[in-house]
Structure 1
Amino acid sequence: MKTTQNTILITGGSAGIGFEIAKLFSEQDNHVIIVGRDEERLAKAAAKLKKVTPLVGDVSKDEEVETLVKILYNDFPNLNVVINNAGSAFLNNLLETDRTFEKAQEEMLTNYLSVIRLNEKLLPLLTKQPEAAIVNVSSIVAFAPNFVLPTYGASKAALHSYTQSLRLSLSKTPVKVFELMPPLVNTDFSQAIGGANGISPLVVAEDLLKAFENNTYEIHVGRTAEFYKLFHHSPDEALLAMNPAFQS
Structure 2
Amino acid sequence: MNISGNTIFIPGATSGIGLALALRLHERGNTVIVGGRRQDRLTSIAEEHPGIHTVRIDTTDAASIDDASRTVITEHPELNVLITMAGVMRTEDWTTPSGFLTTAEETVATNILGPIRLIAAFIDHLRAQQDATIMTVSSGLAFAPLRVTPTYNASKAAIHMLSESLRLQLAGTSVSVLELEPPAVRTQLMPGHEDNEAAMPLDDFIDEVTALIESQPHATEIQVERVKFLRYGEARGDYDQVVATLNRTDPHGR
Aligned to 1:39: 39
Structure 1 gap segments, 5+ residues each: none
Corresponding residue to 1:220 among 202, 214, 223: 223
Aligned to 1:239: 243
TM-score scaled by structure 2?
Answer: 0.90
CA distance in 2, matches of 1:163, 1:201: 24
Q: CA deviation at 1:229?
A: 3.0
Aligned to 1:18: 18
CA deviations 1:198-237 (Å, max 9, x no partner) are 2122333333323332122212224212332323122322
Q: Over aligned residue pairs, what C-alpha RMSD do you find? A: 1.7
CA distance in 1, matches of 2:205, 2:172: 28
Q: Residue 160 of structure 1 contacts residue 179 of structure 1 at CA under 8 Å; is this kept in 2?
A: yes
Aligned to 2:252: none
TM-score scaled by structure 1?
Answer: 0.92
Cα gap change, 1:193 to 1:203, in 2 (>3 Å): closer
Aligned to 2:137: 137
Aligned to 1:56: 56
| SS of equivalent residue, structure 2 residue 35 | strand
- More divergent stretch after superposition (212-221 vs 160-169): 212-221
CA deviations 1:56-86 (Å, max 9, x no partner) are 1111101111110111221111110011111
| SS of equivalent residue, structure 2 residue 123 | helix
Q: Residue 35 of structure 1 contacts residue 57 of structure 1 at CA under 8 Å; is this kept in 2?
A: yes
Give 4+ residue runs of structure 1 displaced > 4 Å after superposition: 192-195
Aligned to 2:164: 164
Q: Residue 208 of structure 2 contacts residue 224 of structure 2 at CA under 8 Å; is this kept in 1?
A: yes
Structure 1 segment 79-158 matched on structure 2, within 5 A: 79-158=79-158
Cα gap change, 1:50 to 1:169, in 2 (>3 Å): farther
CA deviations 1:148-182 (Å, max 9, x no partner) are 11111111111111111111111211111111111
The amino acid that maps onto 1:125 is H
Number of aligned positions between the proteins: 245
Cα gap change, 1:120 to 1:10, in 2 (>3 Å): same
The amino acid that maps onto 1:168 is L
Asked if 1:208 is matched to 2:209, the reply is yes
Q: CA deviation at 1:194?
A: 6.9
- More divergent stretch after superposition (69-78 vs 7-16): 69-78
The amino acid that maps onto 1:211 is L
Q: Percent identity?
A: 31
Cα gap change, 1:177 to 1:207, in 2 (>3 Å): farther
Q: Residue 186 of structure 2 contacts residue 193 of structure 2 at CA under 8 Å; is this kept in 1?
A: no
Aligned to 2:30: 30
CA distance in 1, matches of 2:180, 2:36: 19
CA distance in 2, matches of 1:150, 1:97: 16
CA distance in 2, matches of 1:151, 1:239: 16
The amino acid that maps onto 2:248 is P
Q: CA deviation at 1:188?
A: 1.6
- More divergent stretch after superposition (213-222 vs 164-173): 213-222
